[in-house]
Structure 1
Amino acid sequence: MRVIDVFFRRKRGSFLKTLLSLTLICASFLMIHKLKVSEKDGLGFKHVRSFGWCSGSDCFPFRSGDVKPGVDGSNPAGLRADVRANQSWDAQVLNCTEDASVRSKDWFRRLDPRFHQFVLHRHCRYFPMLINHPEKCADTDAHLLMVIKSVIEQHDRREAVRKTWGEERTVNGKKIKTLFLLGTPAPGKDTKNLQKLIEYEDRIYGDILQWDFMDTFFNLTLKEVNFLKWFDIFCPGIQFIFKGDDDVFVNTENLLDFIDFKVEQRKEAGLFVGDTITKAIPIRNRQSKYYIPKELYDKPYPPYAGGGGFLMSGLLARRLFLVSEELELYPIDDVFLGMCLKKLQVYPEMHPGFRTFGITRRRVSPMNNDPCFYKSLLVVHKLTAHELLKMWSVVHDADLVCAQRTSM
């Protein structure tokens, strides 16, 4: 135990990163069972959880928990006193019970049971932080914050992003910072061991924000509002945010060039751009992942950007946080952001460089694997970790020659 613990505390290195990746993918559970890491592990926090409820196959549960000071005397959730000491994450204990008054509503009785727990608990908005990195925004020269939605089990995707478009670096004098947004695994997924794995991963990379709510599809909106609040508290100087999934390809250089163009035009303050969807309506097919019953929402959606990836200004993110608190949570996160934008009277800009449904929706099309398209676009969805690493290498190969394209 002591030998392994010392090993994990050593200076970051490529050998350690490689070993962690292999361990997580091939033998992570075996390793953790042998480690028997004590509860007081010096991470700067200790948390105790009790499991809440779960409804159906698409679980929407919450966990109540409290975050206590670490053994080293650090403050709750690992907050650092040297970063905006006058502000901190205030959701440290949550005992959020259901809104029983909703049960008496006629529309609730008619509502598909899959949405009952979401509706009963959608007033539960902010959750305790299990892992926090407020120092990410302490650098006043940081230009672009890459914010990626992920789940604990998708370590290979995070590794691929870190090695490609999410690498923290400086490009033409502009600093790029990276954060991954995580909740907690649902019951039955060896929760304690997975949590230890993510804590070790964060020790090495220091780029994870984790909240104490379960990672489910409906809870993606919780990632949205909890991040917006976090950003408002800790990131006064960040100018731009790219927010996307962990299975997209982002051409970082093109993204920075696009930002420069908007700054030159003096149109950066209200910037919100992506693969904008207009005139959409709720999907009524009960088999669809995006099914919404009429009782929950029965009008057209406002314009919104596909959640695979979009770019916005830091100024607009702070405005979105304020207006988000005035709206009821909605189970589809990108639509919820569209509702917030509508409230602000901001129209999300459509840009053809954001391909959140792939370069073409025809999966068999050779265009989806053509590196010259990737070289000219901003964001492409969706790739496996292996495909991302391979495409990144090809796109940045100095020997790649692309003919000039005038149309797609």
Structure 2
Amino acid sequence: MLQNKKKSFRSCLVPEIIFRLLKMPDNAVSRGERTPWMKFRRCLWYLVALIMVGTLVIYSSVFQVSWSLNPRTTTPNSSNPQNSVPPLVDRYTVAYPHEYHFILDEPNRCREESPFLVLMIPVEPHNREARHIIRSTWGNVTTVQGKVVSHYFILGQSREENGAQTIEEQLLRESRDHGDILQSDFLDSYHNLTIKTMLMFEWLSTHCPQTSYAMKVDTDTFLNVHNLVGMLLKAPQHLYITGNVIRFASVLRDQNSKWFMPFSTFPESVYPPYAIGLGYVFSLDLTRKILEAAQHIRALYIEDVYVGLCMRHLGIPVTDPPRGDMFRIWMPSNTGNCYWTSVITTLLHSSNQLLDVWKSYQTQAQSGC
């Protein structure tokens, strides 16, 4: 049995013809002669050993790249967060899955309100002005066609050392006054947007059992809630995500780009389809699916691309909206002729611009647009 195993192993690594060449006659061994045959045999052994080592190096490199995209052996099951160990993190990945905690929360509100649609708004801890502007504009729309709409701001901890305590005190007062603050204990930064997004999915999956849809929408985005609800009333109710869908986006290898991605982290040349992060909407049953996929996909720092990677892993397509002009990236130069009443989202220059845009929207809506 042992001899057969040795022979099988030998046949996998060393071709039979080479093995016969390497096998020196017994009489030469017994005489201890240093013949040219022995020198030739030694050179062949060195050559075979070099080929084997090279093969192992190449195999290890390929395995490492594969692991970077599919770290099954190190990423924990998100359903068991107490055993979570964050995967290897570099400049282009983030520590997720991991056991993060909400230090400011609304544990019962979503369950009690049972909204049709929840608006989840990522925001920096210090940006109180943006939160105020949204509460006084599209965040103030709470009912559309008899459907309840609610909103929450999701944020991490301040990265500012000076004044951090003051910011936390302001957030606590804001939470008591408005009941719409969800703050977790990760460091709030652009690099950690993926963490913020995944915690959004976690919170929705455990706090909103009766909700049909949710939307992730940025603070510098105009949102027409009435058009959004109207679209969702006709949309698929399961495994659905839509927005401004990007297809065949090239991976940027320019190190000067804000969205640079090295080959070692993501070796593919094109990203899978994804909805741009300024505003995308999804059915609530998709949240658990995305969290399951996150156990197998190393978390890239570009959050909307990462959600697209999770969708590809699940085999669930990203859906185009009913019209291509519903989710706009850029605001056109001419926003007359009922523009604001015809779209769902438009990216603005800043959240401060939203106040003027909201007045224009109300004027158009009242004029019968």
Q: Same-fold call, TM > 0.5?
A: yes
TM, length-normalised to structure 1: 0.65
Match of residue 66 from structure 2: none
* Distance in 1, Cα, partners of 2:288 & 2:104: 22
Match 2:125 to one of 152, 155, 160: 152
User: 1:158-169 alignment to 2 at 5 Å?
Assistant: 158-167=131-140, 169=142
CA distance in 2, matches of 1:167, 1:203: 17
Equivalent residue for 1:323? 293
Deviation at residue 189 of structure 1 after TM alignment: 4.5
Q: Which residue of the other structure, out of 109, 113, 116, is the alignment partner of 2:90? A: 116
* Equivalent residue number for residue 238 of structure 1: 211
- For residue 330 of structure 2, the aligned residue among 343, 358, 365 is 358
1:35-54 paired onto structure 2 within 5 Å: none
Q: Is 1:224 equivalent to 2:190 in the alignment?
A: no
CA distance in structure 1 between the aligned counterparts of 2:138 and 2:119, rounded to whole angstroms: 9
Distance 1:189 1:118 in 2: 27
Deviation at 1:192, TM superposition (A): 1.2
Match of 1:191 among 151, 155, 164: 164
Query: What secondary structure is seen at the aligned counterpart in 2 of 1:291?
Result: coil
Distance, in Å, in 1 between the alignment partners of 2:80 and 2:107 is: 13
1:254 aligns with 2:224: no
Aligned pair 1:334/2:298, yes or no?
A: no
**C-alpha distance 297-205 of structure 1, shift in aligned 2 (>3 A):** same
Superimposed CA distance per residue, residues 314-365 of structure 1 (whole angstroms, 9 cap, x where no aligned partner) = 11222222222332211110000001111121221223244352145xxxxx
The offset of 1:124, in angstroms, is 5.5
Distance (whole Å) between structure 2 residues aligned to residue 125 and residue 341 of structure 1: 20
TM (normalized to structure 2)?
Answer: 0.71
Instruction: Please state whether the residue corresponding to 1:142 is helix, strand or coil.
Output: coil
SS of the residue 2:135 aligns to: helix
Aligned: 1:271 with 2:240 = yes
CA distance in 1, matches of 2:82, 2:165: 20
Structure 1 Cα separation of the partners of residues 178 and 113 of structure 2:
20
Mark the runs of 5 or more structure 1 residues left unpaired by the alignment.
1-88, 103-114, 361-365, 403-408
Query: Which residue of 2 is the match for residue 293 of structure 1?
Result: 262
2:159 partner SS: coil
CA distance in 2, matches of 1:371, 1:148: 29
Cα displacement (A) at 1:378: 0.7
Q: String of CA shifts for 1:197-242, please: whole Å, max 9, x gaps.
A: 1111111111011111111112111011112112222221111001
Establish whether residue 393 from structure 1 lines up as the match of residue 359 from structure 2: yes
1:2-13 equivalence runs, <5 A: none
Query: Which fold has the larger relative contact order, with Cα–Cα distance below 8 Å and residues 6 or more apart in sequence?
Result: 2
How far apart are residue 92 of structure 1 and its match?
A: 8.8
The answer (yes or no) to whether the contact 1:126–1:226 under 8 Å persists in 2 is: no
Q: Which whole-Å CA distance do the structure 1 matches of 2:212 and 2:229 have between them?
A: 12
In the alignment, which residue of structure 1 is the partner of 2:338? 372
Query: Structure 2 CA distance, aligned partners of 1:290 and 1:319?
Result: 26
CA distance in 2, matches of 1:167, 1:92: 37
Q: Distance in 2 between matches of 1:324 and 1:91?
A: 13
* SS of residue in 2 equivalent to 1:308: strand
Q: Which moved more, 1:215-224 or 1:133-142?
A: 133-142
Shift of 1:303: 0.4
Distance between the aligned counterparts of 2:214 and 2:296, measured in 1? 22
C-alpha deviation, 1:173, in angstroms: 1.2
Are residues 93 and 153 of structure 1, via their aligned partners in 2, closer, same or farther at CA, if it must alter by over 3 Å? farther
Larger-Rg structure: 2
Residues 91, 129 of structure 1: 8 Å contact kept: no
Letter in 1 for 2:350: T
The answer to whether structure 1 residue 311 and structure 2 residue 284 are counterparts is no
Deviations 1:155-181 (A, max 9, x none): 111111111111252222110111011
**1:295-324 C-alpha deviation (Å, 9 max, x unpaired):** 111212110000000111111222222222
**SS, match of residue 386 in structure 1:** helix
CA distance in 2, matches of 1:128, 1:257: 35
- CA offsets 1:272-309 (integer angstroms, 9 cap, x no match): 11001111122122222111111111212110000000
Paired with 1:271 and 1:118, the residues of 2 have a C-alpha distance of 28
Deviates more, 1:321-330 or 1:302-311: 321-330
Cα distance change, pair 322–140 in 1 and its aligned pair in 2 (3 A): farther
Q: Residue by residue, what CA displacement relative to the aligned partner does 1:12-54 show, whole Å, maximum 9, x if unpaired?
A: xxxxxxxxxxxxxxxxxxxxxxxxxxxxxxxxxxxxxxxxxxx
343-352 or 272-281: which moved more? 343-352
Is 2:117–2:213's contact at 8 Å kept on the other side of the alignment? yes
**1:393 Cα deviation (Å)?**
1.8
Moved over 3 A (4+): 89-94, 115-119, 353-356, 398-402
